[in-house]
Amino acid sequence: MRRGGMVIGVLVGVLALAAAGCGGGSDDNAGSASAATAAPQTTSAPSTTAAAAGGGGGEDEVQLVTTDFKFDKTSLKAKAGSQVKVELRNRGKAEHNFTFAEGDANQDVEAGEDATVTFTAPAAGSYGFHCKYHPATMKGTITVT
């Protein structure tokens, strides 16, 4: 009887350790995954997620249309610290992408489809964004003030 109790106790301890290890390591992945799957299209109140994110200077939305092989806008503006939601519309026949390294954004958008990605604008300055598949022709500038 006593032996059985001890074995269970050890097992519980091991499980607790495993769970703690998992939680610590995967924070980054969880963050980007939830950003990528954030509700597309709907403009209905994103209050729950916005509250969780907190801080910052509000949220801006920008629509960015991709064709083969360019963005419809090559200069975007943002306020430092604000949440910027980029609605990608791929009207081309190739898969495109929006990469903004300083904002940790890297979002693919399949041909003919839409995708949404949100990033936090960094400190004031001028930064580049691009499509990682066609960086030579598909690129632009984000001016943060």
User: Contact positions toward Cu ion, by CB under 5 A?
Assistant: 96, 131, 133-134, 138
Question: What would the two tokens of residue 18 be?
Answer: 């495993």
CB of 68 to Cu ion, least distance (A): 8
Contact 75, 140 (CB under 8 A): yes
CB of 135 to Cu ion, least distance (A): 8
Question: What would the two tokens of residue 19 be?
Answer: 């769970």
96 or 100: CB nearest Cu ion: 96
96 or 121: CB nearest Cu ion: 96
CB of 92 to Cu ion, least distance (A): 7
Please state the φ and ψ torsions of residue 35, each to the nearest 5 degrees: -65, -40
List, as one string, the DSSP characters of 91-136. Answer: -SSS-EEEEEGGGTEEEEE-TT-EEEEEEE--SSEEEEEE-TTSTT
CB of 103 to Cu ion, least distance (A): 18
Give the residue at shortest CB distance from Cu ion.
131
CA 73 to chain centre: 20
90 or 120: CB nearest Cu ion: 90
86 or 131: CB nearest Cu ion: 131
